[in-house]
Amino acid sequence: MSGDKELTRRVFLMKAAVFVSAALAATTAVPIIGYLASPLRRLGKKLKWVSLGPVENFPSGRTRLASFQSPNGEPWDGLTDRTACWVRRVDESTFQVFAINCAHLGCPVRWFEQSQLFMCPCHGGVYYADGSRASGPPPRGLFEYPWRVELGRLMIHAGQLPTLSTEA
């Protein structure tokens, strides 16, 4: 009788151990599988033309901060999928749209109207108004988004931050 009880307890404990081990394995495996599958998820992402607003928002000869929503955002991203960029309207029909990130290590650069320079607060990188490198550690000028005007709105080809790997 006590041998049957012992056997039952032993079987129960063994089954419980198997169940707990399986649950732990599943808990560990889900994020690992998600990580390994993430490149496949990125394959489905697309570059899209997104609007920065009416061209009238960008006066000729001026540089303005603009923002747009990432075309690859997820519903739970909230405000974090909004990205900023600098728009320079060279003349009535020519724009430059710069990535806000410094070409050195990616800190957000700021535009200083008085000096007509972009400056990076992290390591002192400086860029001229046309985005070319002026001084400091950045190895090159600011990255630029392709742009076009469509139905009176300034559009940029977004979805991926411009970097060396995205340039043709």
Encoding tokens for residue 61?
Answer: 């000869």
Instruction: Tell me the closest approach of the beta carbon of residue 105 to ligand FES, in angstroms.
Output: 4
Q: Which lies closer to ligand FES via its Cβ, residue 47 or residue 122?
A: 122
Q: Of the candidates 63, 164, 101, which has an alpha carbon nearest to the alpha carbon of residue 109? A: 101
Alpha carbon distance 65, 58 (integer Å): 9
Q: Please give the size of the binding site for ligand FES, defined by CB under 6 A.
A: 13
Instruction: Tell me the closest approach of the beta carbon of residue 99 to ligand FES, in angstroms.
Output: 12
Residue matched to tokens 């999928």: 81
The interface region with ligand FES, picked from 67-75, 77-85, 103-111, 157-165 by CB under 6 A, is 103-111
The interface region with ligand FES, picked from 2-10, 17-25, 30-38, 102-110 by CB under 6 A, is 102-110
Q: Which lies closer to ligand FES via its Cβ, residue 79 or residue 164?
A: 164
Cα–Cα distances in Å, from 133 out to 2, 6, 8? 84, 78, 76
Q: Which lies closer to ligand FES via its Cβ, residue 106 or residue 159?
A: 106
**Near ligand FES by CB under 6 A: residue from 87, 102, 156, 158:** 102
Instruction: Tell me the closest approach of the beta carbon of residue 117 to ligand FES, in angstroms.
Output: 13
Listed in sequence order, the residues at least 6 apart from 22 whose beta carbon sits closer than 8 Å to its beta carbon are: none
SS3 153: strand
Residues 106-165 that bind ligand FES (CB under 6 A): 106-107, 120, 122-125, 136-138
Cα–Cα distances in Å, from 2 out to 5, 10, 35, 66? 5, 12, 50, 78
Q: Using CB under 6 A, list all residues that contact ligand FES.
A: 102, 104-107, 120, 122-125, 136-138
